[in-house]
Structure 1
Amino acid sequence: MAKQHQSRDSRYSASNHHLVHLSTRLTRMTRRHHQSPTSDNGSLKENKDINLTGCSAVKIKAEKVRQQHQASGRMGKGKKRATEEEEDEDENHDEQDDDAGGDEDDEEGGGSPKGRKRARVNMEGDGRPSQSQAEEVAVIVKTQPRDTDGFIPGQIVRMQLHNFLTYDFTEFACGPYLNMIIGPNGTGKSSIACAIALGLNWPPSILGRAENIQSFVKNDKETGYVEIEMKGPKGKPNLIIRRNINSASKTNSFTLNGKPATGKEVATKMAELNVQISNLCTFLPQDKVSSFAMMSPQQLLKETQRAAGDRNLTAWHETLIKSGSEHRTMLQAIKEEEDQLHQMQERNAAIEKEVERYNERKRIEEQIALFDILIPVARYEELFEKYGRLKLEQRRLHAKVQKLKQKNAPAHELLETLNKDLQQADKARERKKEAIKKRFDQMSSKWNQNTKLATDAESLNSQIEELEMTEQRRKQKIKKLEEDIARIDEELNREVEVERIEDIIEEARQNSREKQEVQERLREFEVQVERAVRDKHAAEHQFQELQHELQRLDTVDGRKMQNLFNWDKDVADVVVWLRQNQSRFKMGILEPAFLSLTVRDQRYADAVESCINSAQMKTFVAQCREDYDKFNDLVNDQNSVIGRPCRVPTWFRDNDIIDRVTVPPPMSVEEMRELRFDGYALDFVECPEGLQAFLKAELQMHRTAIALNPNVDVNRAMELVSRPTNGYIGGANFITGHTLHQVTRSKYGKHARSNATRNLGKARNLSAQNVDMERKLQLEANMREYQQKVTVFQEEADKIEAEARPFDEKLKMISRKKTELERRRDAVQKEKQRISTLTSRKGRLLEQLKSERKVPPPEKERQNIRKKMVKIAMQRMELAEEHVKLARAVIEEQVESTRIALEYLQIAANKVALEELCEKKAAKFNKALDEWADAEYRQVKDESKEALHYVHAVMDEAEPELAEIGRRIQASRKEYYRALKEAEANGTEPPSKENIDLRSYNELEVALEDQKAQLELVTKTNPGVVEQYEKRKREIEQLEAILDKKKRDAERVEKSINVAKSKWKPALEKLVNNIGEKFSAAFDRIGCAGEIRISENEDYDKWAIDILVKFRDDEKLQLLTGQRQSGGERSLTTILYLMSLTEEARTPFSLVDEINQGMDQRAERVVHDNMVDITCKDNAGQYFLITPKLLPDLKYHERMRVLCVANGEWLPEENGVGNLKQMIEGYVSLKHGKAASSH
């Protein structure tokens, strides 16, 4: 019996528990007394050394328990504790995080705890490290050797729980092999699994239960703890881990061997011991059992690698995933860049001829540009040579001109004097003209001033006239205002008889009251009419609905829909919704086979329907993954499309999966004909094309042969359909007459063939749908009833409307009277308005009259204007006098100007006479001068200067390279002519003309025209094309270099992949084969079939382990999923897989909680026997099996330990209940006696 403790008030608690050991060594069952945590390191021994006392008549008194608790409390007070306070996430970003536990990763939940670079306290206060940091510290783990006490390092030796979930206090020891924890529901078995996970610093989310660590403290308790003693490495003390938790706050702390520790340190220890609580393959709590089947095949492979096989499997796999992804990315990049390189090369090849034409044209253009330099230079050289010859002739003529010029000098000097006198006379004449013009300008100014003053005088005169007219208009306006006021007074004094407005208002009120009474009565009639019309419309709507339903009964689709409504209303409503919402799906959702599948020949309806079960008959089929997920989300998850929660079956498989699981038909056409089969089931149906994949992959209708004739050679048919095909071991269904044959072959041993037969039932869903006459008669009766209701409601509405007509007439009469009252009221108001308007207008006219009478007389302003007119007249008299003076001065100036003009004419005549004389004497001089100023000389001189300037301009504007070529050619020509002149002077041999361009100006012009003609023959190319060509050529060279480097890198990565794969794949195959053999053998022992396969993929991240199971003979192997199999089938598959994995596991211990839920007794017994055999072997690890139920006569092994959990505050004191030890010993003796007698 394990030690039990209760709190002071435990006698009042209904949830206190006892955890009882049934030791493998029954003779050593003694009570082990409680030891304090401070002495656990030295005194706590392995399980086989625990002292146990007999269980008979054991009495535990409450007072003794209180004393033990008090002693334990005193011993714990001096103990140092490391407490970690939980804070909000945004307050934990300081350096204290280095001492806190690791983050909880609810999403990942996978991977063993390993050393981490940095960890933080999560919301539960635990130190669970995150998955993303797992790669930073690679802790190499492996299963360590078993010690002499039977334990392997990392196995749990002892556990102690205080105020944890249902426990007040308990302490128990564990065995190194199978530990079976049994007890009724609710006693606290699963609490032990929770304690292991939380005590070893895993987050609560790993359990699938409460999310907060404080939720695990027992109700009404403030604190609690979990203490776990784990086997240490050989030669070292055990590891004692305690986790203290607080229910009032998110505070928890750890101790390691009695010393304060952080969650990070605990996680590091767990990683060193290879404890994998987060791996469902090694630790499967009760609330996570369904999660195992929910795991994807890819995740199952990764978790299996972590739990078993070569310890490097996960590292190799991660390397392959990373390198494979990198290699695919590299190959894709290389392919893209090779395509790009090919395109670039093709583009350059396409424009290469254009580039050649461009280069040829550019060469010709460079030649033309060079000629544009050489031709001006040659022309300048020729002009300069001609200029030298003409310059010598010009100097000779210059001497002759100088001699004639000296002979004619006196006459020319007198002519020069006359020219000067003429210029002076002309200047004096111009000055006098300016003076006269100035006088005239002054006269014009005085005239203009006088004209302006005259205009001002006229303006003032007009103002006087305007004053007189304004005064006259004022007097007229005053008179008119007085007349208007008199007329208004006459109108106001005129009396008009009108009614009293109060009398009219009273009549209007009385009229309004009568109208309101009539309207209220009409509203009552209106409500009655509306009710009758509404009832009529409702009856008409019901009539139309019944009429539509009656019409649908006459169509096949309508009858099918009606039958589907009667069978499964949820599916029928979803079909109606789907038909209105097909546009929301990418490829469309196919309606269930019940509606979309038709049997062409009704003779085959029974056989075809036997291939389809009820769930498959109602299954919606998606044609792509996107539509499948959307349909499930809208219909099955959100539960909103039909206004209520519903669950309808759906189906979709990827094409590669369909291709993999679809097996070809078992018999050829000739073999079918030979055996007199009519065809396969799929041949007799009509359905949408997308539905055929479902009929093949799930229903195997393309493999189910049908013969209406029962006279078929069944043995021959069994032989043909059971033949292995493309890796499939064989087996199929076929139908003869009304008998279904299910032929299967065993997957083990000699693959024996078996045939199960059953009679076919009559088709109900695929048979011809006849009209339901009972339903039709009922619909017709209901239609007559609603037709009568329509007539009744219409008559009622007509009657009410007739009663309301007198009130309508009265309402019209009241309205007419109201109109008359409004007219009379308007007449009274109109008279009041007339008087008000006249009074207001009289007031405005009086104000205007008063304003006009206040205006002063215009006499004063008239006097001011006359003063201004007198002043203007005086100014005009002064201007007239000045104008007369200026006219006299002009006459005097004109006389002097005439005298000066006569002097100018005399000098000009003398000058003309002298010029005629000089011309006669200078004829010879002029002739010599003309010869001296030779036009040709000056023309050549100017042309040579222009040519030189042009040469300089051309050289400056030319490209530096061309200018340099031109200078070299010019220098070589000069050097040649210099050497030639020197040779002619010395009489030596002239220099060589080789490599010297001596062409003349005209020859160069001809050559230039020739080059221009060639240029016209070469098509002009866009320079941008050449730039693209050159740029692309450089890019091609760069891309080739980059490609070469990337290919080398890809080869390097591929080599690393091959190296890793050569190690990983054989090790993985070996592991999976070992697990698969045990898994298949376990299924064979229970009469079922199971296989484990590796699913390969180009993407190493998509490699997977597929678990395929078959629980019935008429089924084929199917992939284990969270939906396809029942709960019991999933549980059985899970435990058999975990058992098969156990022998390969590297973890020190494993745990499964209530895995046998849903199993039948046969399966449960086989599972138990297998588990005992596996977990009690010499090399087996520690295993915890938690179960609430047991069968009689289960297999037992001396290495297994049974831990019984029972409710109660203490053990019973009565002696009559029996002695547990004696009962066990008696049972063992009885079993041994039976075994001996059987031999």
Structure 2
Amino acid sequence: MPGLHQNLTAIQNALNAGAPEPVDQAALNEENRRLIIQRRDIESEISSLLEERGSLEQRIAVQRQEIQKAEQERERSQTQAGQLSNKLKRIHPAAHRAWEWIESNRHRFRSEVYGPPVIECSIHDPRHAAAVEYALGGDALAFTVTSSEDFKMLGHELYAVRGISVSIRAVHHPASAFMERIPLPQQQLRQTYGLQHYITDLIEGPDAVISMLCDNRNIHQQAYTPEKLSVGQVNALKQADSPIASWITANETYQITRRKEYGDKASSTRMARLRDAKLFADSTTTTVQQPEDEDLNQRITTAEREIADLQARHTDLGTRHNTLKSNREEIESNMHDIQQRKSAAQRQQAAWQALPEKQRDAEAKIADAQRRLRASADAQFRIMTEGDEAVLRKGQLALDYANQVSSLRDLHRPALEASIVSIEARSDFESIQERNAEDRERLVQREQEKRELTEEKNRQRAKGDALGSECARVSQVWSEETAELYQRETKEWEPDRLETEIQSVQARLEMAAGDGTAGGQRVIAEFERRAREITEGYDRKAVVDESLKDLEERITEVRGRWEPELDGVIARISEAFADNFARIHCAGEVGIYKDPDDFERWAVQIKVKFREHEQLSILDSHRQSGGERAVSTIFYLMALQSLARSPFRVVDEINQGMDPRNERLVHSRIVEIACGQSSHNISANDGELLSAAAAAAGGGGGSQYFLITPKLLPGLRYEEGMRVHCIASGEFMPKEMGSAGNDDQEGGGVTDGPTLDFAALARRALAAR
């Protein structure tokens, strides 16, 4: 209410202040159009400058590349490899391009690839250069490969891909194989024909290249002499039996063609003048030609001069570009100021025009708030009355429940005692059965022994009767002395004495085996006694089982009176708990763990799920993090709120373990429950923060919450009627304290204590800095 009255007062003051001063919108629009045209002209000029600068930068890059290329050529020309490459470039550009490709792609060849003899070979004596060059002919510019695969690949790359026309030769034998087939030994060559060397003696190079020249130009069979031959020596060389078909002198070359099919005289000789060497004219010098250096230096100087001119122009353009950018920024700043002035005037005009409607809305809100305050007071009284009645009913149910639990405990104790007696009787019965089985087994063994002894007695008696008959028969023929001896011996074996002895032994046997009269009777008596005890145990067990069944029926009857109500309470808690979790896109439920044997082990069981792909799991300190347990705890407290006797909750630092997202969701949920459809009270913050969301006496739809925390996130949800208290305490407290507030006039009876003006304290702290 104080806030609504303040808002209405501010609107009325604005209306009394009068309408804002008018602004010339047409003049502002004209000035803005003029600035737009100026900015467009500047941007067009800037675009032209940028294009020209880009062109200059490209030209500078081209000149720098030209300098780099010239310097690389100069460096290469100062090495023997570079000189040879330049030489090949001058002689045959196509061969030079082919050689550059080979040098850059040697990793693609399986074996060694050689350049033309003109760069791979050297001549021992420059005077022989013309003769060697004539002997090599076109193969002086041929490339040499040493494998068929390289021959095919190189031919494809040079001919088909790059269109370079050069000669490629493949060799498959070493040069020594050709040296073994020279026409004559050198000494005989000199003595017989006056020739000094073979061409192979005048040239030096890689073995594969020499082998290629021998195979293609037969330089191992071409002879040479620096002197002029006599007529006789020439005639000897022309003979049919001469092994030399080609030779070279200082000024002439000779080539003899013989046709064996036409006889010895069928031959022709071709003689030509030896031309000066061109390819090998400088094969032994590494001196860089002066004209080439001068050309390279001239190219570098020209490029550097061009770069300097371009950079000067580039710098001028950059200066002009910076000036234009400054002008454009100034124009844009002026345009922004004009737009701000227009927007401010429009906002002031719109705000002035909306003041009457805002005044009507503010008055309507005040009237509605007053009406709702009156209605909430009545509703609060009614709810408190219903709450008192519900508390009484709940107390009576709690007493009934306690009485039923006590009765259940009294019934459960006899059942346990009967179960124990049944277990003991079952154990005694099993023990007697085991002992009875052993006695029966021994009785069977003794009866078997008795039958065997009886049979043996009968056999011995029959044998004795037979012997007695025999004795009677023999006694009829005894002499007097024999009869006297018989009478003396038989006195010891009279039947009565023997029977007495037999009975004595039999008694001892029966006593030892337990199968005599007294021993057997004891065993039988013991067996019968145990049988009676087993029968009595079964009778007692039946009685105990009957009593236990009766107790279980009584327990079931008692549980039927209170357990459904307990399940209903837990179901209501679980429904509210699950709804709270659903609002943060998680899942949770509350149930009862029911121990089948002991009611004291029954417990409330909470299950939660915070991630999409996991199952519900019991809330404990092992599966969930501290923040997750904190969220579960506050949601459980919220679910209990409608069943609690206390109308408020005090929660200490429940938000400290939560991440910001969960803290915002939980705080919003507390506000919804505490404030209902209207808004009420959240207070907070000390030196810790004390924060409370409450449905205060002035209205609201829920119970009151006090949230105590050292901090709150920015941008939390707050409702009308909530309170945030910053509690300051400590050793050093300001002496100036504000007076008590008077919120109790329309805020439901809320009265504040002494307060601090934090705005004044902040201004004092800033001034101290």
What TM-score comes out, normalization by structure 2 length? 0.42
Q: Which has the higher helix share?
A: 2
> Highest CA radius of gyration, 1 or 2?
2
Q: Which has the higher contact order (CA 8 A, sep 6+)?
A: 1
